[in-house]
């Protein structure tokens, strides 16, 4: 099934929830109002629908291959990537100083969703390059920026993140890759890195690896980790490519999904040491890498929304054409397309509501990021930064867990045909699974939400968000529609459940850490559910008003119906989640280890 970008829904979020015209009042974004956003998104949709999306199935069936250290990507990927970089898509939201277009993240996120819906495996290469650009913008020296940024922003070169080692997955204190200082100020890098996305490929002339390593004599643990640029090819003073560096791909992984994306094992220093260049200061590598990881974690959340959207589109198309059984209400006296059956509609509405809720949440988070970096008022910047940081684990954790449910429902709508690879429904399900794992598992996102984002400030930011939600409830209370009343009821109950959990975490994190962290993932899911539901409640308020004026009535009425469904079928779960977290910790931890 072909992919069609959900432009209307994206533009609704950007205009009415994210407030693109307010963003356009900020310095550096003066030319980035709604008309610009619409023009960019329409061009992005054409490119992804016509060039990238047709390669999705081919990448799954004919994935990247490795031979003698050389990785060959799926036929068609190299040409599509050339068109991607020539079109300026890599530089969309990066600074104009380095050749980018300097557009807001609010616009870039929507374009990122389209790319990932079109082809998740393909999109991983630009995603990792974005992370490398962020790290260099934050901590790179003037020389490193001058050498690498323009080429990365243009897409001429690609970037990677090298964190994981065979013994060091989530626990980066165990990193053993070593860096030996040289008289000329460079370092020699020795070690093995695994799970390196696009660590080797044939789509670009150079690959710029961002590598965590421990300088000889550095402290043990996370305090002794530094960050290095280690290019595949060394760069001459005139910017041309020089000798091949001592970093080599010794194999690529065979995976459940995202098969076209080469996941490399990289060996550094087999022939005397790979030349590396320190990013920032020694022993601050993890601090810099977290900046990179925060950018990538948000982007992975968008990947979840993207693959769920693709699965939803395919499920709707199938449900409209697959004929099976008479409708239960007797409205058709013969077998009919399965979309007439109430439970199929329930599954499709669940898919739709999750996708639209998470898209709205991600769009609003992106707007907060833009305000945090560009608003002229320092206090507004600070508030938006706190909001955005709270949102990142929700966008990453909730949206990716959501994608598993949605892609699973996509298989279910197809019935037995969904279990057959030829329909393509199973690919979305397989591709989605990694999203809850890489760049920090859902549990790691939840630990961050509990420890850094809730317990540390005593729940201040969480309660401030709840106060914003309460204001939306006040607006709903002034509406007399059935849908508004239904959403108000469930949103109020979910907010109260959320506040109970915030109080529990803030009050018990130090005294009973096991009890608090036993409910960390349920807390993340409750918070994500609430914020997505809140954004759909805001959507309902806008859509009811515009429908009453006759503006795109069918679309607006569908927004209202989707918000009501989300409230009654998904947001309604929040009070039960609250009970499991606040009252159910002991049953998680009480069973003796030897009983497992």
131 and 198, same domain (yes or no): no
- Residue 497 CB-half CA count within 13 A: 28
- What pLDDT is attached to residue 572? 98
- Rounded to 5 degrees, φ, ψ at 162 are -115, 90
Region of 277 on the Ramachandran plot (φ > 0 left; ψ -120 to 50 alpha; else beta): beta
149 and 259, same domain (yes or no): no
190 and 141, same domain (yes or no): no
Contact 134, 280 (CB under 8 A): no
Give, in order, the Cα–Cα distances in Å from 260 to each of 61, 209, 470, 508.
8, 20, 45, 45
Rg (the chain; Cα; Å) = 24
- Among 89, 124, 154, the domain-final residue is 154
* Residue 137 located in a structural domain: yes
504 and 474, same domain (yes or no): yes
Contact 11, 77 (CB under 8 A): no
User: Which domain range does residue 87 map to?
Assistant: 7-154
12 and 149, same domain (yes or no): yes
Cα 34 from Cα 22, distance rounded (Å)? 10
State yes or no: is 439 an active-site residue: yes
- Among 283, 298, 322, the domain-final residue is 283
Cα 428 from Cα 435, distance rounded (Å)? 11
Which of 508, 569, 535 minimizes the C-alpha distance to 394?
535
* Residue 340 located in a structural domain: no
* Residue 485 located in a structural domain: yes
Instruction: Provide the 3-class DSSP secondary structure of residue 433.
Output: helix
184 and 204, same domain (yes or no): yes
Determine the Cα angle at 458 with ends 452 and 460, to 5°.
Answer: 90
Instruction: Provide the 3-class DSSP secondary structure of residue 255.
Output: coil
* Residue 329 located in a structural domain: no
149 and 11, same domain (yes or no): yes
* Residue 309 located in a structural domain: no
With a CB cutoff of 8 Å and minimum separation 6, the contacts of 206 are 151, 156, 157, 158, 231, 232, 233, 235, 241
> 93-123: per-residue pLDDT in tens?
999 999 999 999 999 999 999 999 999 999 9
- Among 154, 176, 201, the domain-final residue is 154
- What pLDDT is attached to residue 294? 85
44 and 179, same domain (yes or no): no
Cα 121 from Cα 268, distance rounded (Å)? 25
* Residue 352 located in a structural domain: no
123 and 179, same domain (yes or no): no
Mean of pLDDT over the chain = 97
Tokens 């060091």 -> residue: 168
- What pLDDT is attached to residue 292? 83
582 and 488, same domain (yes or no): yes
pLDDT means per 10 residues in the chain (596 residues)?
Answer: 95 98 96 97 98 98 98 98 98 97 98 98 97 95 98 98 94 94 98 98 98 96 96 97 98 98 97 96 93 90 98 98 96 96 98 99 98 97 98 98 98 98 97 97 98 98 98 98 98 98 98 97 98 99 98 98 98 98 96 96
- Judged on CB neighbours under 10 Å (0-12, 13-18, 19+), 100 is buried
117 and 18, same domain (yes or no): yes
Domain count, the chain: 3
Strand partners for 145 = none
Pairing of the two strands 263-268 and 247-252: antiparallel
* Residue 17 located in a structural domain: yes
CATH number at residue 106: 1.10.540.10
Q: Which of 379, 439, 544, 586 is catalytic?
A: 439
120 and 192, same domain (yes or no): no
* Residue 305 located in a structural domain: no
Strand partners for 249 = 266
- What pLDDT is attached to residue 541? 98
- Rounded to 5 degrees, φ, ψ at 550 are 80, 15
CATH number at residue 174: 2.40.110.20
Three-state SS sequence of 381-429: HHHHHHHHHHHHHHHHHHHHHHHHHHHHHHHHHHHHHHHCHHHCHHHHH
Cα 286 from Cα 408, distance rounded (Å)? 36
- Rounded to 5 degrees, φ, ψ at 462 are -60, -45
Contact 571, 530 (CB under 8 A): yes
Cα 264 from Cα 200, distance rounded (Å)? 7
């Amino acid at each position: 099934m072909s992919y069609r970008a959900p432009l209307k829904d994206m533009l609704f979020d950007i205009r009415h929830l994210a407030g693109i015209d307010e963003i356009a009042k900020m310095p550096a974004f003066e030319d980035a109002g709604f008309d610009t956003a619409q023009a960019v998104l329409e061009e992005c949709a054409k490119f992804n629908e016509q060039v990238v999306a047709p390669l999705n199935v081919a990448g799954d069936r004919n994935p990247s291959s490795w031979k003698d250290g050389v990785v060959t990507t799926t036929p068609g990927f190299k040409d599509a990537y050339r068109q991607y970089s020539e079109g300026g898509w890599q530089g969309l939201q990066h600074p104009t100083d380095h050749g980018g277009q300097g557009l807001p993240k609010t616009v870039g996120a929507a374009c990122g969703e389209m790319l990932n819906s079109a082809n998740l495996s393909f999109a991983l290469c630009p995603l990792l390059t974005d992370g490398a650009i962020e790290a260099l913008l934050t901590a790179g020296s003037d020389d490193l920026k001058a050498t690498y940024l323009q080429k990365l922003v243009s897409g001429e070169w690609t970037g990677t993140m090298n964190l994981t080692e065979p013994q060091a997955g989530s626990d980066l204190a165990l990193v053993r890759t070593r860096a030996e200082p040289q008289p000329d100020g460079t370092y020699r890098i020795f070690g093995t890195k695994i799970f390196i996305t696009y660590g080797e490929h044939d789509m670009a002339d150079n690959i710029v690896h961002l590598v965590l390593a421990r300088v000889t004599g550095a402290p043990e643990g996370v305090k002794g980790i530094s960050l290095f640029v280690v290019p595949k090819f060394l760069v001459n003073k005139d910017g041309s490519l020089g000798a091949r560096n001592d970093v080599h791909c010794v194999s690529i992984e065979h995976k459940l999904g995202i098969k076209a994306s080469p996941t490399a094992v990289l060996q550094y220093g087999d022939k005397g040491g790979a030349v590396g260049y320190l990013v920032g200061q020694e022993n601050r590598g993890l601090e810099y890498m977290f900046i990179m990881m925060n950018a990538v974690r948000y982007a992975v959340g968008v990947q979840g929304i993207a693959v769920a959207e693709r699965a939803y589109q395919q499920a709707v198309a199938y449900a409209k054409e697959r004929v099976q059984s008479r409708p239960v209400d007797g409205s058709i006296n013969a077998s009919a397309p399965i979309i007439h059956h109430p439970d199929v509609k329930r599954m499709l509405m669940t898919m739709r509501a999750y996708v639209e809720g998470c898209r709205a949440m991600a769009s609003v988070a992106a707007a907060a990021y833009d305000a945090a970096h560009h608003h002229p008022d320092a206090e507004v910047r600070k508030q938006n930064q706190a909001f955005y940081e709270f949102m990142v684990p929700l966008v990453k954790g909730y949206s990716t867990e959501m994608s598993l449910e949605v892609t699973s429902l996509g298989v279910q709508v197809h019935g037995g045909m969904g279990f057959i690879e030829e329909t393509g429904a199973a690919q979305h399900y397989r591709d989605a699974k990694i999203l809850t794992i890489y760049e920090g598992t859902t549990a790691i996102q939840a630990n961050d939400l509990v420890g850094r984002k809730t317990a540390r400030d005593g729940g201040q930011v969480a309660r401030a968000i709840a106060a914003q939600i309460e204001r939306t409830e006040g607006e709903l209370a002034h509406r007399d529609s059935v849908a508004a009343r239904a959403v108000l009821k469930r949103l109020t109950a979910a907010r109260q459940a959320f506040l109970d959990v915030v109080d529990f975490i803030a009050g018990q994190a130090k005294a009973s850490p096991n009890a608090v962290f036993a409910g960390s993932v349920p807390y993340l899911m409750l918070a994500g559910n609430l914020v997505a539901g809140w954004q759909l409640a805001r959507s309902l308020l806008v859509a009811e008003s515009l429908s009453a004026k006759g503006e795109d009535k069918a679309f607006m009425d569908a927004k209202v119906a989707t918000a009501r469904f989300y409230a009654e079928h998904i947001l309604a779960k929040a009070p039960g989640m609250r009970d499991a977290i606040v009252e159910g910790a002991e049953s998680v931890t009480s069973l003796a280890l030897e009983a497992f």
